[in-house]
Structure 1
């Protein structure tokens, strides 16, 4: 759910025609640097990585390392995996579609849609807007920073006991409300998963349907994203997939645990989704290419704010980040981390050149090196 390094460390409006599936090329020479970066990630300790590049109507896919440490089986280019905070772009897209339909305004307060929910220890939903949720300028405390939550759901003893717990969005928000805000609404920027738990709750209040149902109806089905799902409380990954591994500790040393199965309600609208690399490329190309949002809403999504020194080279819009790479190229997208999984999915602004990849580890992996290799070398 948290943004990893480089983002890091962090209806009628839906196009009715899905993007054509790219033809997978054998591996042109200009991807040699990307393959080398994938190999370097495995050499540095990532069990395995899967990646897909789409350029126009052609594509290239590659894997390195293993998908199952016990059996030694390789990763697959068709692997489905947990995408963590990449989910945020899907949620933001639905809210912007609702705005385009006149069903809400980004300048509505959270209180208007969720009366009394954002209250306590200085939090006040009457002073926070939907826009501030989506661009992380709300100041609302991130529930995943709570010490008790970390012990229960991220560290070994707690995770192994509680990995199948179901958590309601209201419970996650209540954890955040037990802390003071990080800053006053609009005064700064910091990444908070609570923002998107609230965003998912607003989708449900506006539409009468869960945010997952709205994502399926408005994005997944129209684009034909067959490897993408909103699992709810389902703890398993659909096939094909690899195992996911974590240290379940505050350091990157020590034993490695299989963390593939977990109840993703602990992430909810902030990071529960599952996808594959080809689908993520299709989604971001469709989004940046104007197939999911009208021009005004896409411009709002791309209206970025400074990340206040938290993420150098990154500006953040509405569930969408603009990253300037070392060579000056800008890529748009999101990354995401959740137990045993680190994902990055980006595209150039014109939607023509896209890359999505996944490490089946949550303690290591250089996202920046892969991005720089693909878009700069």
Structure 2
């Protein structure tokens, strides 16, 4: 497979998969490549280009995990400490037990927390266009995020199974601040950004809703029909409640994302450096690297196909990769999708961003097939 094939996939994604603008950056040893298709701005027709800033979404989970494991290597904490050790009483509501849930549970999505993204409060604010427009600049305090994380009862016992939940990372981020006495932005800068030279990665400040330049505009069609009651949406009827796909996408570029774990903005180039370091073991101490990549299955969780989950990152099943170890992070929400995957046995990493939300796993699987020669469809 070649980078020309990746470019063909990017062109296909824009022509047939509903993507407005997409970029892929590849680092393979000392060889680098960048490809793009579609537009960064529908109004001006400006193309996508290298070095654009974008919200990494759930990719922020990996940064939180890396900071906590760095603290563990220094002896400041143990990832098997209970949440109550550092945040006493915060989890002891609505059926949760902060003494039974550990930092490891939070970072591996095995704490039994419900899927925070399905919280009725979030759905009420963002599920329809009118609601999104009204609430797009709502700010969330740490206390708001704690309340959101436990606003629904547990789904499973701690450690029983993988259940993807942003709420666990709200707590994990707060533990960083409790242990160090510093804001998360200070610790991630010192422990991750500076050692890896991530000069184009930053934590958004309070009430910050825009991006540094250059950046693409972000567009979304991820809404239900106006008047839909989010509480009435089920696995059986959700598709029938989606708004008309022919509607013009909504520009969602300016958007308060203080509810996103880490709230981190980066570029494809910096994400290649970051994920590559975690995949290859060049950032964390050996013990903590091993703990990060002690994985659990995601099977049955209605999550990414062919994956296992470590601490803040995923690894593809070797049965699907022909025995290769491919590790990565991904995130998607209104108007953005950011995925970065690295081969642990080589210096080969591919980072992809779209200025629309996740549309189809086929877009990513075709890119990884073209780039890594594996079939993840």
Structure 1 residues 339 and 351: CA distance shift in structure 2, 3 A: farther
Matches within 5 A, 1:1-377: 30-43=2-15, 44-233=17-206, 234-250=208-224, 251=242, 253=245, 254-269=247-262, 272-310=263-301, 311-324=304-317, 326-328=320-322, 329-350=324-345, 352-365=347-360, 366-376=363-373
2:228 maps to what in 1?
none
Q: Deviations over 1:315-344 (max 9, x none)?
A: 000112101474524310111012210010
Report if the CA contact (8 A) 2:60-2:261 is conserved.
no
- Decide whether the 8 Å contact of 2:91 with 2:150 is kept in 1: yes
Q: Secondary structure at the match of 1:236?
A: coil
Q: In the comparison of the two structures, how many residue pairs are matched?
A: 347
Q: Are the counterparts in 2 of residues 232 and 264 from structure 1 also a CA contact under 8 Å?
A: no
> CA deviation digits over 1:186-245, x for unaligned, max 9?
111110000111110000000111212211111112222121111033100111111001
Secondary structure of the corresponding residue to residue 352 of structure 2: strand
Paired residues of 2:219 and 2:249 also in contact (CA < 8 A) = yes
For the residue of structure 1 that corresponds to 2:349, the secondary structure is strand
- Asked whether the 8 Å contact 1:83–1:338 carries over to 2, the reply is no
In structure 1, stretches of 5+ residues that fail to align are: 1-28
**SS of aligned partner of 2:22:** strand
**Alpha-carbon contact 1:143-1:172 (below 8 Å) kept:** no
Query: Using the alignment, how far apart are the partners of 2:94 and 2:109 within structure 1?
Result: 19
- Deviation at residue 351 of structure 1 after TM alignment: 5.1
Q: What stretches of structure 1 move > 6 A for 4+ residues in a row?
A: none
Superposition CA RMSD, Å: 1.6
Q: CA deviation at 1:364?
A: 1.7
* Secondary structure in structure 1 of the residue aligned to 2:134: helix
- For residues 83-106 of structure 1, the C-alpha deviation after alignment (integer angstroms, 9 at most, x for no partner) is 101111111000000000000001
What CA distance in whole angstroms lies between the structure 2 residues aligned with 1:98 and 1:273?
A: 20
Contact kept? 1:82, 1:338, Cα under 8 Å: no
Q: Give the 3-state SS of the residue equivalent to 1:64 in structure 2.
A: strand
Task: Output the TM-score relative to the length of structure 1.
Answer: 0.88
Contact 2:166–2:261 (8 Å) recurs in 1: no
Whole-angstrom CA distance in 2 between matches of 1:180 and 1:280:
35
The TM-score with structure 2 as length reference comes to 0.88
SS in 2 for 1:127: coil
Deviation at 1:289, TM superposition (A): 2.8
Alpha-carbon distance, 1:132 to partner: 0.4
Deviation string, structure 1 residues 286-314 (Cα, Å, up to 9, x no partner):
22332211111001100001113224310
SS of residue in 2 equivalent to 1:112: helix
Q: How has the CA–CA distance of structure 1 residues 307 and 268 changed in structure 2, closer, same or farther, with 3 Å as cutoff?
A: closer
Look up the SS of the partner of 1:226 in the other structure: coil
Equivalents in 2 of 1:316, 1:232: separation in Å? 29
| Aligned-partner Cα distance in 2 for 1:296–1:363 | 34
After superposition, the C-alpha distances for 1:113-162 in whole angstroms (9 at most, x for unaligned) are: 10111122211111100000000110012332112211203431222111
